[in-house]
Structure 1
């Protein structure tokens, strides 16, 4: 026990900063003066350098004098007493006072002593003494970043100390003594989990269990609102512990009666993941509402329900009932509720001869028998709510868990069932499942093959289990070979465990057969969509008519999953199954018409986005087919979002459309996404897709499209440093444009050739092409094209060291771009001006241009040029001696280049 004086420490930091000698309470003057004292008292008896003091007192607004602390120190010394011990030595100041004279250091010493006392009565006393005088706001009245940081640290320290003192009181059997204080503090800090945890324990130990559970509910809501997440594992585990302690009166000792039914199937030996779902099932123990586990075919709903049931079966002394209702299986196998009830009644001791004949009578007898008993009832694979309702107990006591591919919204609405959606495994859980079944050594030896395997299985548990079974039966087979077989397009053939319940096609078919004809047709047609997500407009275009009701039905069947962005997700295995059905059941002309409508939908959307993104030579596609719904895209930002969301689909459709005979769509889609792909630095797929587009344009005989795609292909080669190929394709394009009399196309190509020769180090030739481009644009009265050529010429002059000419050309270009509202061109020109200013010896002016270029790049989604601009910006900051700003710019540029793999 610490026996030193309980007199208040004369120096106060845990509240307003003051000096309290016995005879007087001294106001330490203006805030800056008090901040000087506070900084020194955080390390009493130790010197603080003047530079450190200045930074902590003034931050970035430090006075321009060599020692702005000196006048404050002089005034403080005149206050006398201990302040007379303020000393200057070795370039810094210190106050010669004992640490125990400062309240924060005294409090910390008392806490250390309390922890050494290890939980006895003396420890509680020491903790209470440490808290005495510690106000909610430390360093009150002080401003600035340092004071804010220290204040936040001391506030966290105070809250931990309050919780620690309360925990000690609870351990000593005095929970009621801390409840009121903890309620107040927890209300002020609703996301501080340790405070809520000790309050929950105190309330529980005081017999106020419901209040303890309410505390957790408030914490969970506050954490979700503030951070968008769940509370930490420690407080979640405490909540479950309290739920499990909260047994009902008369529930028995917590073990099943010997005579009670025990119908649970065996637990899944390699069960993996699902921590959040298990936690939410644990929460269901607190009330009597049924729980509906819903999810797509093969996602592991039954495994989850059975695994959880084994974990908690000791909570149900009345026993466990289980029935597979076969709601999604062969139609003739569906178990009617009266048959399920017969099984339950016989398990509960009713002789078969005494089981009532009619469903209402069986249901009534079942409710009578389970009243007052605590049973765990698993209703597996339910078709609909009507199949389930007769099997529900009529009163409290038992817990019912229902699994279904349908969300059973009627049960949620009328019986207040708890809905719990079971989704696909995340990649880590999918890998863990394979590790549990195949051994960690085999999985860890082939990490890339495992990634490919889990992705090919769409992270679907049943598919992973079948693949694991194949791998386990062939320990000599490399996992890479198995992944290769799954990736050949015949993956569904491999996902066959040789019986109906372990054949992925069969399991999927049980969901498919429950669909209405319209929903079944839409599902088949979705096999033509490359994914990963589809919008209602795209689905409507596929079907040729409104698809909203059918999408809703597919969601209810857990075939589609709605996303937070309003789209619908169909995992890869279901899409492959849909594609097989489309090939088998959908007439070829209907499939072709649906694909045509889908291509039109995306082509028209891409062309609108292309125009809004100020793409040179925007494209006007042919009119869409009847039944196509074109997306509405309001502005530049919406256009960028549309392209980012749909680019994987555009890429896949370009590859698919050619073999299907839609060459016109191929080259138009390539043109429509080309400028976006350049902005995002997607050079590898540009080479492939521009080449596909060029050949498609040649097959259609469209010479203008051929020339444009030759230039696009040249640009893709240039960005991969294939200079000769870039120049060859560009010169061919220029020749075609000249033959066609297309001055704009020829001008754009000379502009591009200026870039090619510039990268090859041939600056004078580059300038010649820029001037040729400028002449053609001016002759065609094209202000935006003129601006682009002016910027190109300005850049060439800058690289040649002709900075005056560079600035003149670029400023003329900038005015034209601004008049046209062309942010893309403005960004490029700001970059050129920055380069010219930088290399003329004016890094300060260059920084302004580079920063404006970077801002514009972020607005329009341009990534490669942003990274290049940030590199130059860092160089300019470095030249001016600002190492911190230089590192920040270079670091961001490096991250973007890594993202683009450039």
Structure 2
């Protein structure tokens, strides 16, 4: 049960599309998809989701749609459809519009919108989908639908349709006896029609059902309604409003978008009396979210709403002491000024006394720490408190059991929606690429997007592309200045920075040297020159970094740019340690990952922490996790004058990049390393990078460039007496001439490489040259010689434990057998090559071998297995951004 095999059942296929449609336009990590589809029994395959995605693409294409809607992005899959095309999100938009209409007093429009929302809402969501995740979502959506039914009933009740509401809600209440809002709406409708005894019977049934199913009592709101009915009072919702109550909420933000998950978690807080902490980085929109949610639910709080800005993160003089916040609350609750006590404990006690028995909504905005918040918390159940802060306020979470809701950055789709609301769909639709650039340059941070939108709105003649150019070419913070403290992104960040302790402030500055996008504690320790675990915890709590994958941390681009400003240019020793950390780690990973070359390094600087890498699988994981950092560091080292690091990092990465098929950036980075090697005068390094550059150019189709650079490298190695490297280069020249359609010339270079390897008794080199020689014989149709040379190569590779070479040789044997018509033998060799490619993380050759495997299976008449092999190959090629047009043609023909 622990490792179920992958099947292509329709239920799991539907699960994939359901997960993606719940967050359209947002990448869902493969691990998350696996967890939601298979739960506690994940499959053994490394990416079990790929076959389902491949099948869904074909289903979409067969229906006349664009299969490109399903994309592999940043380690996950994304479906590029507008939220309006998904029934759930369309219904939620209508429900949000209904709430806006209700707040404006337009119950007729509110009821109409709610009817539209419910018409498109299936009574049973995700029907037929198995698994715990589907069950949880189904239950959550079921509760959400019941709330919409209750909203509709209350709107119609206010319009005077009490009898109709009774008829509509009776069957719903009978089917869902613990749905408190539905039952409460039915009780109000019965009371409005003069049928109070029936309303009391409804409450009795609700109380019994809640007791039986949940072992508790109904919530405070429906209990209060029951008491009013017992006293003979008309329910508050049916009466003309009484005396004024506090209504301190700021105005809601028009056009509020996204944040559905955070809003759902806030709604959950209505079911208990724990405080909620909305924590997030500066400018992420915590206050906007809290205020929007408060307006959405304020009708549930007959005692009113209290709001205070505690000024916790701003100029020091703006921090509001809790006693001053309490004074404002007490005055809002009707306490005359002279009666308000002077001391904080007395004020807090009076506040707790006044709110006892009342149901208030209290928003404590911009809290600095838990001590500022605690005196403002009610002492009895009934009221709900929402707190916003840049700190996670873990003390409140630990002691007061507060709910913690982390507020993250907007997605690309959400950022586009925000800009469209402020600038209009026509302007945004006219420049989609510029809109994406604006979102990226603003790090999808709401405050930055709002400032950019304001600038664009003030210049309707200015193309959005020009504004994006200003953000990316110049000083972003000059553009992101709204001309007051609260809308100046640099100033907003500074308030978080100034609140840090000295050690945390120093590490924040130093991490501005790290090129991102993620770093480890060991990288941070290398920058600082000492352990930093406790300091990192402080930065995480302050939302200046967020934990990402295990042991890693992330920081959005704008905060990283701000940290880089603070770091300045006087931290060269720290940058040296950082480069040493990654160079020594990459070199160690390179050796363990069976790279056929050696890199000699100078000692690391004192204070540098080098990662422990246990084995080849850990080495591959390290290279995958750190590759984007390595690419940026190579550029940074070349610019900052660390030439030795630049060329060595390029060398350390190149074999991994080849395996992963990352040809485009390999050309750029090898050129940086080549220039750095030439500046240092290291001819051997220059020759190595020339050969690596030639390999990248070859894979991009520049055969002449590849040949020219490789021949130059071979000449350098010959002059230096580097026989091993010279042989390796002749081996590579064999590959170049093979791809140029000159197999005889290729065979000559392969034999030259073999002779040199034999002369120096390099068994690993001999194995590679034997495989190359065998391949050339196979291309020339000399089957016996091909198998003979490849068999000798395979024996050598197994003897020295080189799985990379073994994978390549199995592929060569497969090709030789395929060309001679021995299809069963070819399939066996290709399967062995595929297995080894998966183990070592070789991506491009995996896809290429799967393509050949599919060809053999098709020739054997097994169309289904052929399609499966081709589909997986195409998924890999798509991830590598390789066109694979011939493969697409094969798949299209096989589907007919």
What are the within-5 Å matches in structure 2 for residues 187-226 of structure 1?
Answer: 206-208=206-208, 210=210, 214=214
1:567 alignment counterpart: 552
Distance 1:716 1:249 in 2: 76
Q: How does 1:784-795 map to 2 (within 5 A)?
A: 784-795=764-775
Q: CA deviation at 1:769?
A: 0.7
CA distance in 2, matches of 1:332, 1:635: 55
Cα contact 1:243–1:285 (8 A) shared by 2: no
TM-score under structure 1 length normalisation: 0.74
Q: Distance in 2 between matches of 1:151 and 1:658?
A: 53
Q: Which of 503, 519, 524 is the aligned partner of 1:518?
A: 503
Q: Equivalent of 1:307, from 272, 288, 292?
A: 292
What residue in structure 1 maps to residue 595 of structure 2? Answer: 615
Task: Return the alpha-carbon distance in structure 1 between the equivalents of residues 175 and 518 of structure 2.
Answer: 56
Aligned partners of 2:203 and 2:226 also within 8 Å: no
Alignment of 1:570-581 (within 5 A): 570-581=555-566
Between 1:695-704 and 1:883-892, the stretch displaced more is: 883-892
Shift of 1:381: 0.4
Distance 1:821 1:405, change over 3 A: same
| Alignment match of 2:536 (pick from 541, 551, 556) | 551
Aligned match of 1:780 in 760, 771, 777? 760
Q: Partner residue of 1:641? A: 621
Alpha-carbon distance, 1:616 to partner: 1.3
1:259 CA displacement: 2.3
The worse-fitting range, judged by mean Cα deviation, of 547-556 and 348-357 is: 348-357
Match of 1:392 among 361, 377, 380: 377
Pick aligned residue for 1:437 from 381, 398, 422: 422
Name the CA shift for 1:756/1:541 in 2 (closer, same or farther; >3 Å): same
Alignment match, 1:340: 325
**CA apart distance, 1:246:** 7.0
- 1:769 matched to 2:746? The reply is no
What CA deviation, in whole Å up to 9, does each residue of 1:465-504 have, x standing for no partner?
1111111111121211111111115112111111100110
In 1, are the aligned partners of 2:307 and 2:363 still within 8 Å (CA)?
A: yes
Report if aligned partners of 2:511, 2:524 keep a CA contact under 8 Å in 1: yes
* Kept in 1: contact 2:694–2:706 (CA 8 A): yes
**What per-residue deviation string (whole Å, max 9, x for no partner) do you get for residues 518-577 of structure 1?**
100110111110111110000000111111111111011111101142211111000000
Deviation at 1:366, TM superposition (A): 1.1
Is the Cα contact below 8 Å between 2:770 and 2:790 reproduced in 1?
A: yes
Please state if 1:253 is matched with 2:253. no
After superposition, residues 599-610 of structure 1 pair within 5 angstroms as: 599-610=579-590
Is residue 829 from structure 1 mapped to residue 814 from structure 2 by the alignment?
no
Give the total of aligned pairs: 693
The residue correspondences of 1:690-705 to structure 2 (distance < 5 A) are 690-705=670-685
Tell me how far apart the structure 1 counterparts of residues 809 and 778 of structure 2 sit (CA, whole Å).
12
Taking the TM superposition and a 5 Å limit, the aligned residue runs for 1:333-372 are 333-372=318-357
For the structure 1 residues 839 and 401, does the alpha-carbon distance in structure 2 shift closer, same or farther, using more than 3 Å as the test?
Answer: same
Q: Counterpart in 2 of 1:681?
A: 661
- Map 1:120-159 onto structure 2 (within 5 A): none
Q: Is the 8 A contact 2:177 2:206 kept in 1?
A: no
Structure 2 unmatched runs, 5+: 1-127, 143-148, 150-166, 179-201, 229-234, 883-896
Could you tell me whether the CA contact under 8 Å between 2:219 and 2:271 is conserved in 1? no
Does structure 2 conserve the Cα–Cα contact (< 8 Å) formed by 1:867 and 1:896? yes
Counterpart CA distance in 1 for 2:776 and 2:824 is 22
Q: Is the 8 A contact 1:203 1:209 kept in 2?
A: no
For the residues of structure 2 that align with 1:499 and 1:476, how far apart are their CA atoms?
Answer: 25
Q: What whole-Å deviation, never above 9, does each CA across 1:848-873 have from its counterpart, x for those lacking one? A: 11111111111111111111111111
Q: Distance in 2 between matches of 1:179 and 1:556?
A: 42
User: Residue in 2 aligned with 1:475?
Assistant: 460
The aligned residue for residue 735 of structure 2 is 755
Q: Please, which moves more after superposition, 885-894 or 843-852?
A: 885-894
Give the equivalent residue in structure 2 for 1:899: 879
* Residue of structure 2 aligned with 1:450, choices 435, 444, 454: 435
**In 1, distance between residues paired with 2:223 and 2:774?**
78
Q: Secondary structure at the match of 1:659?
A: helix
CA offset at residue 260 of structure 1? 1.0
2:724 to 744, 759, 782: 744
1:856 and 2:839 correspond: no
Distance 1:728 1:823 in 2: 30
- Secondary structure in 1 aligned to 2:436? helix
Q: Is 1:404 equivalent to 2:384 in the alignment?
A: no
Q: Distance in 2 between matches of 1:565 and 1:246?
A: 46
- Structure 1 window deviating more from structure 2 (254-263 vs 710-719): it is 254-263
CA contact (8 A) 1:209 1:246 kept: no
2:271 is the counterpart of 1:291: no
RCO higher in structure (CA 8 A, sep ≥6): 2
Aligned match for 1:263, one of 248, 261, 269:
248
Counterparts of 1:698-717 in structure 2, within 5 Å, are 698-717=678-697
Using the alignment, how far apart are the partners of 1:756 and 1:352 within structure 2?
A: 88
By how many angstroms is 1:433 displaced? 1.1
Residues 607 and 619 in structure 1, CA contact (< 8 A), matched pair in contact too: yes
Distance 1:473 1:420, change over 3 A: same
SS in 1 for 2:277: strand
Distance 1:383 1:249, change over 3 A: farther
Match in the other structure for 1:107: none
1:824 is paired with a residue whose SS is helix
| Cα distance between partner residues in 2 of 1:458 and 1:369 | 44
SS in 2 for 1:728: helix
Query: Aligned partners of 1:478, 1:399: CA distance in 2, in Å?
Result: 46
Moved more, 386-395 or 891-900: 891-900
CA RMSD of aligned residues (A): 2.8
**d(CA) in 2 for partners of 1:249, 1:470:** 54
Per the alignment, residue 88 of structure 2 pairs with none
**8 Å contact from structure 1 (residues 243, 286) kept in 2:** no
Aligned CA distance change for structure 1 residues 564 and 645 (closer, same or farther; 3 Å): closer
Secondary structure of 1:658's counterpart equals helix
The answer on whether the counterparts of 2:368 and 2:389 sit within 8 Å (CA) in structure 1 is yes
3-state SS of the aligned residue for 1:487? helix
1:846 and 2:826 aligned: yes
Deviations 1:168-195 (A, max 9, x none): x998769889999xxxxxxxxxxxxxxx
SS in 1 for 2:689: helix
Q: Could you tell me which residue of structure 1 aligns to residue 185 of structure 2? A: none
Q: Contact 1:610–1:673 (CA<8 Å) still a contact in 2?
A: yes
Residue 881 of structure 1 deviates from its aligned partner by 1.3
What is the deviation of 1:208?
A: 4.3
SS in 2 for 1:420: strand
CA distance in 2, matches of 1:263, 1:179: 36
Farther-moved stretch of structure 1 (504-513 vs 250-259):
250-259
Measure how far apart 1:351 and its partner are: 1.4
Does structure 1 conserve the Cα–Cα contact (< 8 Å) formed by 2:843 and 2:876?
A: yes
Of the candidates 471, 474, 477, which is equivalent to residue 486 of structure 1? 471
- C-alpha contact 1:293 1:420 (8 A) present in aligned 2: yes
Question: Partner of 1:873 in structure 2?
Answer: 853
- 1:629 is aligned to 609
SS in 1 for 2:513: coil
Q: 1:621 Cα shift?
A: 1.4
Q: Secondary structure of 1:534's partner?
A: strand
CA change 1:626–1:209 in 2 (3 A) is farther
